[in-house]
Amino acid sequence: MKIDETIFRKYDIRGRYPKEFNEEAAYNIALGFANLFPELKRIVVGGDIRKSTPSLMQVVIKGLIDGGKEVVNAGIVITPVVYFAVCHYNFDGGIVVTASHLGGEFNGIKIVLKNAYPTLPKDYDKIKNLIINNKLLKIKNLNSAIKKIDAEKDYIKYITSKISIKKPLKLIIDSGNGAARLLPEKIFRLLGCEASTIYSEPDDSFPNHIPDPYHKENMEDLKKEVLEKEADLGIAYDGDGDRAGFIDNKGNLINGYDLLMIFTKDAFKKKLGPIVVDSRASMALIEEVKKHKQTIELTVGYHAAVLSKIIEKNAVFGGEVTCHFYFPLEYYLTDDALFASLKLVQIISEKKDFAAYINSLPRYCASEEIFIEFSDTKKYQAVDNFTKMTKAKGLDVNDIDGSRINFENGWGIVRPSNTSAFIKVIFEGRTDKDLLNITRKIINLMDESGIIMPKNQRKKIGL
């Protein structure tokens, strides 16, 4: 059977619709999943707001039924609602048809197992191999009826029961024309906050901006609204609602470093224990954790890796710089941007001035994450070659995810994107001078290994 193998990423499946990822591919992937995990019986299916999603969901459901599964249809919902349903109703797994934060020309699939535990790279490889080697099997299914479920009602009840807000806040929400729609506004209003939403109308052309709050250009409209309305916080959700970005009351973008620091401090108030973060973690966070005589574990930059390590180490908090967060002390072990938003609002409600609190956090001088376009089929080998070279030079290298090179006064990382055709780099120094020196050193090493940063990006970072 033919299938575009480039749609199989390390932790999900994504491609341009219908050229790379289409109904035939979606059906075969669902059947492959059913074959790979025969012990999983009841699977919940949901999807985002893209025009291609309903027909893709239909064939995913058919593939699961043909694979002997009992299927529950959650409809068009944010991804965290599907994960919640898997955990709350004790389903055996879940599939979400979504391309997350990518543009409307894309679609894809996210798969989780029991307790919403993510499938791993080896699982996607096995599904791919079942398809291309014509090993898919249909199984006689005596229970082919599709059940429908409205999980949002129980989801709202559950997450609001976990949060106590000391004082009501004024919030502006940007749903990015994605799957979040008016759901966050509804939840925050139930908790007594004044909330209003921009771009709540679902539209997979994403006419206002790409629903990716990690990039500051997508946060400009929200920033404007926060300042004009004198709001306490702005919250922007990505396309499928499993990630959020935030604007403080002074219009400043709250970066992932600060959010990891805020949530770590909050977790330590409840219980001391290990922290798990991806390999882009700031020195400031590492030092904060060590100050409390706790351990910090660095992982590959993807939430499945973070979750695996949280479970292994019995951590009290985990997350990524890209704003994926886990709260083991308070919530199911799922990646839920709405719950993270609620947690942040709870913390803010205890502060007199949130922007002032942000400014008081320990931090060093860091670059933004820089995206260098690189072939999807060559990026991993290029980073592997870079890592081998830096190790051969005797540098202090952490190779858990690409190459994090540690210096006395800072660090930098060169790593392949797990979801798109980029190599990503970040630099951090104790001072601006340290940052510039470390940036120069690492870019020179990149040049030597053939990972070339374009001139416009060099100029942007002062080189």
Active-site residue numbers?
Answer: 100
For residue 80, give Cα distances in angstroms to 110, 393, 400.
11, 44, 27
Burial class (CB in 10 A: 0-12, 13-18, 19+), 354: buried
Q: Sort 343 into a burial class: Cβ within 10 Å, 0-12 / 13-18 / 19+.
A: buried
Asked whether the beta carbons of 3 and 131 are under 8 A apart, the reply is yes
Helix locations, 98-196, DSSP H: 121-132, 152-161, 183-190
User: Contact 110/55 with Cβ under 8 angstroms?
Assistant: no
Q: In whole angstroms, what separates CA 141 from the centre of its chain?
A: 35
d(CA 278, CA 169): 31
Q: Which residues neighbour 448 within 8 Å (Cβ) at sequence distance 6 or greater?
A: 389
State the helix-helix crossing angle for 183-190 and 337-348, rounded to 10 degrees. 40
Query: Which residue, among 175, 169, 347, has the nearest Cα to 267 in the 3D structure?
Result: 347
| Distance from C-alpha of 55 to C-alpha of 302, rounded to nearest angstrom | 28
Residues 335 and 242 sit within 8 Å (Cβ to Cβ):
yes
| Helix and strand element counts for the chain (H, E) | 15, 21
**24: helix, coil or strand?**
helix
Tokens, residue 191? 């908790």
State how far the Cα of 128 lies from the Cα of 172, in Å rounded to an integer.
42
CA-to-CA distance for 338 and 344, rounded, in angstroms?
10
Q: Which residues pair with 359 in a beta bridge?
A: none
CA atoms of 284 and 433, how far apart (whole Å): 17
Q: Which helix (H) or strand (E) element contains residue 223?
A: helix 220-229
